[in-house]
Structure formats: structure tokens, C-alpha cells
Amino acid sequence: MVEGKESVAYAMPFCAGTVTGMLLQKLVFMGTEVPVLAAAAAPLAALMLASAMLYRMSGGHDPGLWLSASVLFFTGIFCVFSYYAASPAPGDGLVLHWAGICAEHLKGMIESLPFSDRRCNALASALITGDRSLLSEEVTESFRASGASHLLALSGMHLGIIYTIMSKPFHVLRKSAVLSALRFAAIISATLFYTMMTGASPSTVRAFLFITMNEAAILTGRRRKAAGALCAALTVQCALNPEVMLSASFQLSYLAVCGIITLYPKMRDLFPYDKNGNRFASLMRRIWDSASLTISCQIFTGPLAWWLFGSAPMYFLLANLIAVPLTTLSIFLVTALLLLDAVGLLPGIAVRATEFAVRALLFSMEVIGGL
């Protein structure tokens, strides 16, 4: 099989079964008059179509594919009913308790940073912890109007930035098997705790699963496959919490990743590589990389966003070309400033540099949002 096809072979029928289970569950307990067979017809048809396509792609010599797809389909239904039968109530376990305490402490540290513009504290808190309660309506509206409101909702991108910051110091631990195992344990534990501390949104959980599989591939020396990671994360997340499929954050997150995996490489390669080392060509190449990434995500998420929210910002490309680098820089600088503050060091130049980056992000969104 080609790369990623094995993952699709189990992820698609399982997710179709999960959707069917959700429909059956809601029909049973909500007392609607829609016939069960009619409600299940769409995912069943999708299952049959996907199975037929995979069977055809495999050369038609794998009769076990139909059986495997059927088993995975009914496994998805079983997971849904098991989830509801267990009546999950997370409660306040020890880890969640400490995660909540750490989250409040982190918010307090960000609020106490000596920025001259208190809007910077509010935006920094939103970017690091996902808490938007301190943001003014004007700031929130400027991000929404400019098409960059997704930057205010803690997502996979934010955890990815944190992961990048964390992985750099641990890079030296890849020189031996024991050190690699320590790296894996440290990074996974820290990212898992950060995910819980910031509310474990569906997109953040998806990013954590990606990080886990990426680190597992590094630890075992295996090749990292984006399509396989996507399908594995989708299966695990649906198995742990079938209701997550109803979340807009979940749907938009996976659609965006699908765009990155499938469309982005093709768009990126439309800009030819410069073999002469021309700096201007290199700069334009980077701009095109960023633009193609934004466009590929927007093509996949735009229709659903329009359906859910009824809006499509005109300047999303300009906003993201400016906001994403500034957001990355702001998160990096705020994180560094918090680490310095934790050890009792808070250089004035570091505070001013961080505030300048955050204010630049605020200003750019206000200008673009007002166009």
C-alpha cells in the first residue's frame, strides 16, 4: 500500500461508525421522529464508497478489507454507546487540580508583567493560556474583522509553537537511547500538562497527539508520515470522546491539517527554488510559503466557517501573513520573559522588546480590521 492508505483504511470506517453511533444515540434519547435507517444511510453510504475505493486501489485481491472495514465501523458504534453508558464525569482529579492551580498562577504571572499598555497583558494571556476574558471588545473585534480570530483561540498552532520552543533545548538529548527516552518523557509530560492546563480544546488535543506520534517516531527511528499521524489522531480522539466530532474546533482543526497535508505542498512547489542564493528570491520564497499555507488552510476550512459563522473576511491572507509571524514571535518572547521572571530576572530591554512585539500584533490587526 502507498503511504497513508493503511491509516485511511482504518480511520475512515471507524469514524463513519462513530458518526452513525452519534446519530443512533441522539435518535434514541432525544425522541426524534427521523427513522434510524434514514439517519444512518449517509455514513453507511460513505463507508461503502470508501471501502469500494480502497478495495479497487488495492487491486481487488484483498477480500479481508471488507471484513476489516465492517469491524472498524461497528467498533466506532460500540465506542459511542460505551462512552454514553459509562456516563463520564471527569471530576477534579489530582492532575486536573494541579493543572488548574498552575493555570491560575500562570495567568497571574502574565497579568503582573510590567507592560505600559495593559492590553498587551490581556493579549499575552490569551495567546499563552487561551483566557480571553481580559480582552476588550475592540481588540476581539479587530481580530475577527481581519480574519485572524483563530489566533485568539488556543489551538494546535499555539501548542506547536510551545513544542518548538521546548524541543530546542532537548535536542542534545538525542545522542543516546537513554537520553532520547528522557527527552520523550520530558516533552510528552510537559505538553500533556500544558494541554490540560489550558482546557484541552479539541484542536489542542489533536496537536498533542501529533506531537506524541512525532516524538515516538524520533525515539524509534521510524519515518514520520503526516497522513498516518492525522488518521491515527482522528481515530484516537473519536474513540476517547465521540462527542468531540460535534465541535467546530475539532472539525476546523482537522480540515486545516488536511489542507496542509494535501494542498500546501503542491502550492508551495509552484514557486521555483532559487539555486543561485539570491536573497530577494529567498525572501519571496518565504512569503509564498506562508501565503500558500494560509490559502490551503482557508480553502479547506472556509466553506465550513461560512456555514457555521456566516462570514468570510476579505483580508484573511494579508492578516495571516502579518499576524502569524508576530504571534509566533510574541509567544516566544512572552514565554522567555516568564521564564526570566520565574528565576527573579526581568531585564527592562526584554520587557520592552516583548511589549513591542505584542503591540505590533495589536496595531496590525486594528489597521487591517479597519480596512
Distance CA 305, CA 299 (A): 10
pLDDT in tens, 272-304: 776 676 777 778 888 888 889 888 988 998 888
Distance CA 198, CA 155 (A): 10
Distance CA 145, CA 122 (A): 19
Confirm if 231 and 7 have CB atoms less than 8 A apart: yes
Task: Give the angle 109-115-116 at the CA atoms, nearest 5°.
Answer: 150
pLDDT in tens, 226-270: 888 888 888 888 887 887 887 888 888 888 888 988 899 898 888
Among residues 121, 119, 153, the alpha carbon closest in space to that of 137 is found at 119
Does residue 14 surpass a pLDDT of 80? Answer: no
C-alpha cell read off for 315: 483580508
What's the mean pLDDT in 62-91? 62
**Domain chopping of the chain, boundaries:** 5-85, 94-369
pLDDT in tens, 161-210: 888 887 777 766 666 777 778 888 888 888 888 888 888 788 888 888 88
CA atoms in the 13 A half-sphere facing the CB of 93: 6
pLDDT in tens, 341-353: 888 888 889 999 9
Q: Output the pLDDT for position 174.
A: 65
Place of cell 514557486: 271
